[in-house]
Structure 1
Amino acid sequence: MKNKKFITLGFASVTLSLGLLFSSNLFAESSKLVPKESETSRLQSLAKFTKVIGIVEQYNVDDITIEELMDKALDGMMQNLDAHSNYLTKKDYKKLKVQTSGEFGGLGITVGMKDGALTVISPIDGTPADKAGLQSGDIILKIDEKSTISMTIDEAVSLMRGKVGDPIDVTIVRKGEMKPLVIHIVRGIITIESVHVKTINDDTLYIRVASFDQKVAADVAKEIKKRKATTKGIILDLRNNPGGLLDQAVDLVDLFVDKGDIVSQKGRQESDAKTFTASSRATLTKVPMVVLINGGSASASEIVSGALQDHKRAVLVGENTFGKGSVQVVLPITNDEAIKLTIARYYLPSGRTIQAVGVKPDIEVAPGEVKTRKNEFAIKESDLKQHLEEELEKVDGKKDEIKEDKKENKDIITSEMLTKDIQLKEAVDIIKALVIIKG
């Protein structure tokens, strides 16, 4: 039986939710989290800490209270554990609660720490950040006039969140650019449509998953069932998908894999260890698959793509993923304060970790357009079509019919669209080959 739990892949996000698990159960079991050292050693360490606090309080050049000293000590300790753990003061904790439950203006990006720098994991489709031109891999140097050096993820998220309609300037460093770029963005309400479906060549189903919200697996299953009779191959596009709910990642893989492990979670405590397995009852299709990934694919996206790769269920095309495979929980320490702590890491069916490594594609393809050589002497189909339509418009009663024919079908990806996306074009070619082999 599948072992499921409604848990989020802890990511700081400038969207309508942060995707963090709030927990008091772990706090109640805090005695189990301390190192198994001798009581003498622990008392000596605590005495040393108390002594340092006392010395700083007495001799520091600036007058500082014991409360301020403790906040600084806790903040420094948590930040030095890993990039995603931190201490939440009364002010920080209140802001986090607002971000996880309230409606607010944001940019529409997911950020994380990579090599010590605040990095854009991905902009979300159609959001202010996406429209302004922010890209996966951009390093954020400044938020308005504030430097992000030594800034926590939560502090950065708080600065980027604001009133709808208010502008913000984000200074970034981008690979390939000679100098920093200033991106001007106007905050907006972030609404995310997670699943987009189109068809290619009538027999290939293109499924774009922008993020893993509560209905992703159900929406994808619905679309597969609707087109099952005509579908010979599936392209799952997880590019710039920052992640989301773990149970949705597991359920999505389960639609394509009928047995075996999907992902396992391992922490220091036995209670943190969990394994999520596939069930044949949930599997909908075994048609050939290609999964598109890039540096903006993180967390749940990496679990899905990595699991399908380990099961040899899909060919992965694109670029190496972000490398976010750890679990964070928010643990209250008082009514007004808390800590955010990394308690476990995710492992793919083969046993490999995602954290700081990511998932490597089977076929590496950089983004860009398909380069084609023009034949100057060939008659363009578009020119010929336009000429014929002009002739037909001269015929009485046909003008309205021609206009109707010219409407674009938004549910179909055309060959012209494929030339603008070389990664997708490669995926289509691979699907064609796999269908031929299978057939």
Structure 2
Amino acid sequence: MRRILLSILLIISFVNAKNVDITKNARLADYIKFMKVVNIIENYYVEPLTLDQIIEKLLKGGVSALDPHSSFEDKKSYKSLKVMTNGEFGGLGIVISMKKGVLTVISPIDDTPAYRAGIKAGDIILKINDKATLDMTLDGDIKLMRGKPGTKINLTIVRNGKKIKVKIIRAIIKVKSVKEYTLKNYPDIEYIRISSFDKNVVTSLKMIMNKMRNKKGIIIDLRNNPGGLLNQALGTLDMFIDDGKLLSEKGRDKRNNRTWYAHSAGTYKNIPIVILVNGGSASASEIVSGGMQDRKRAVIIGEKTFGKGSVQAIIPINKSEAVRLTIAKYYLPSGRTIQAVGVTPDIVVKPAKIVPLENSGLDIKESELKDHLKAELKTKKSNKKVINNKKIKEKVVDKDNQLQTAVSALKAIIISKKGE
């Protein structure tokens, strides 16, 4: 870091020595502006900071200001990132992001501590233990939530305008991501729940498809599926689409531009499919639902998805530091992006219990949301617990109006195919 600063200072000195008008060199003028800010902080900030500390803080703030998924990884956070991607860690089982400038749950993962505690997609996390999240970075929030398995964490969330306290015990997150159910009264329909796109999704799906007998249609439930591995999303699409484009990736660097195509071998191209999505469906689940929608291979039912369609790369600076940077976006077969847009279902169906828009924290204007939540921090009243979610079982199918709509739509498709 000091070498970079020294190089900038040498360039400035060289330019001045040559009597060059530096104002005409915009890039050099920006370097000088940066150095002036560093110098002001070093000399006048209320707490004494070393040069390394100042530069590190400026880098963290600057990179994270690009978008919610980019960040500067210092020695400690880079080490944690390696643990998260390569090893086991104690977690809650939720996927989070910054939405409208506040920490928001994309979705809880099935059968994890957060799921069992009743955390839901769209919940705003106001406090982690006793620390407010409003002025923290996404990485900072993640670090606070991660810890040793068996340890306790307290979250204060805002849901539908109400503040709720939730106690969760961290655990090693091991999830069976693909489950199949036989729907009561609908024996000819295969219901498949995919809770996340881990490394076993395609293999599990193939096992289910190969053993299916007397099934006339499939419902794939991607609600509250936060995403996962790209190759599993592509493999899922390839199982049901026999030719043509599946997905494209485009960025500034043409070396990052790629397009994936379907293969005809092993394709289940004739069986009717309905896919369920909601606001907790993100990333890989949007690639699958959006791709199937574009190729007219499935009917999409539910609510608009989250809108996470960007690609991040971990670029090392040295052995102990790196930059996590958004380098590209994904594009569906039609050429549209899902980043910050999401996938709009063919048939929009709200959950059975519809909360009025004016009562939902997420429906407050972005400019007003933080002030609203700061006011919430000052109030002490909150519910003591959250009612646990229930797994989808045969006996509650009739109470799930989104699933019921999917069944009706699928049966209509099956009937129409008989008449062809």
Residue 118 of structure 2 aligns to which amino acid in structure 1? G
Aligned partner of residue 97 in structure 1, secondary structure? helix
Any conservation in 2 of the 1:221–1:284 contact (CA below 8 Å)?
A: no
Whether contact under 8 Å (1:194, 1:210) holds in the other structure is yes
Q: Distance in 1 between matches of 2:119 and 2:127?
A: 14
1:134 match: 119
Q: Distance between the aligned counterparts of 1:165 and 1:76, measured in 2?
A: 33
Determine the C-alpha separation between the residues in 2 that align with 1:263 and 1:271. Answer: 16
1:422 matches 2:406:
no
Deviation at 1:259, TM superposition (A): 1.4
Match of 1:322?
306
Partner residue in 1 for 2:156: 171
Amino acid across the alignment from 1:261:
K
Measured in 2, the distance between the counterparts of 1:39 and 1:194 equals 57
Counterpart of 1:278 in structure 2: which amino acid?
A
Equivalent-residue separation in structure 1 for 2:291 and 2:156 (angstroms):
36
**1:238 positional shift:** 0.4
Counterparts of 2:45 and 2:277 in 1: how far apart (Å)? 51
After the TM superposition, which residues 70-85 of structure 1 pair with which residues of structure 2 at under 5 Å, given as runs? 70-85=55-70
Query: Partner of 1:54 in structure 2?
Result: 39
Task: Report the Cα offset of residue 151 of structure 1.
Answer: 1.6
**1:220 corresponds to:** 205
The answer as to whether partners of 1:141 and 1:147 remain within 8 angstroms in 2 is: yes
Letter in 2 for 1:108: G
Runs of at least 4 residues off by over 3 Å: none
* Other structure's SS at 1:342 match: strand
Alignment-derived partner of residue 94 in structure 2: 109
* Matches of 1:73 and 1:213, distance apart in 2: 35
- 1:207 maps to a residue whose letter is I
* Contact preservation (8 Å) 2:242, 2:269: no
Amino acid at match of 1:334: N
What amino acid does structure 1 have at the position aligned with 2:349?
V
Q: Residue type matched to 2:75 in 1? A: K
Deviations 1:63-105 (A, max 9, x none): 2111011011111210111111111111111222222223222
After superposition, the C-alpha distances for 1:371-391 in whole angstroms (9 at most, x for unaligned) are xxxxxxxxxxxxxxxxxxxxx
Q: Does 1:64 align with 2:49?
A: yes
For 1:170 and 1:413, locate their aligned partners in 2 and report how far apart those are by CA, in whole Å: 28
Root mean square deviation, CA, Å: 1.8
What per-residue deviation string (whole Å, max 9, x for no partner) do you get for residues 34-73 of structure 1? xxxx993322221221222123212333321110110111
Q: Which has the larger radius of gyration?
A: 1
Q: Could you tell me whether the CA contact under 8 Å between 1:310 and 1:350 is conserved in 2?
A: yes
- Taking the aligned partners of 1:244 and 1:428, their CA distance within structure 2 comes to 27
Q: Per-residue deviation at 1:287? A: 1.1
Q: Following superposition of structure 1 onto structure 2, how do residues 10-409 of structure 1 map, counting pairs within 5 Å? A: 40-175=25-160, 177=161, 179-200=162-183, 201-227=186-212, 229-368=213-352
Query: Corresponding residue for 2:381?
Result: none
Q: When the two structures are superposed, what TM-score results if normalisation uses the length of structure 2? A: 0.82
Unaligned stretches of 5+ residues in structure 1? 1-37, 370-411
Tell me by how many angstroms 1:277 deviates.
Answer: 1.1
**Deviation for aligned residue 1:184:** 1.2
Q: 1:137 to 1:203 in 2, by over 3 A?
A: same
| Aligned partner letter, 1:297 | S
- TM-score by length of structure 1 reads 0.78
Q: Deviations over 1:152-179 (max 9, x none)?
A: 222211111112221111011112x4x3
Return the alpha-carbon distance in structure 2 between the equivalents of residues 98 and 359 of structure 1.
32
Percentage of identical aligned residues: 53
**CA distance in 2 between partners of 1:75 and 1:65 (Å):** 16
Deviates most, 150-159 or 327-336: 150-159
Listed as ranges, the gaps of 5+ residues in structure 2 are: 1-22, 354-391
Q: 1:274 to 1:160 in 2, by over 3 A?
A: same
Matched residues in 2 for 1:60 and 1:197: separation? 59
CA contact (8 A) 1:295 1:322 kept: yes
The size of the alignment, in residue pairs, is 357
SS of 1:154's partner is helix
CA apart distance, 1:368: 2.8
SS in 1 for 2:399: coil
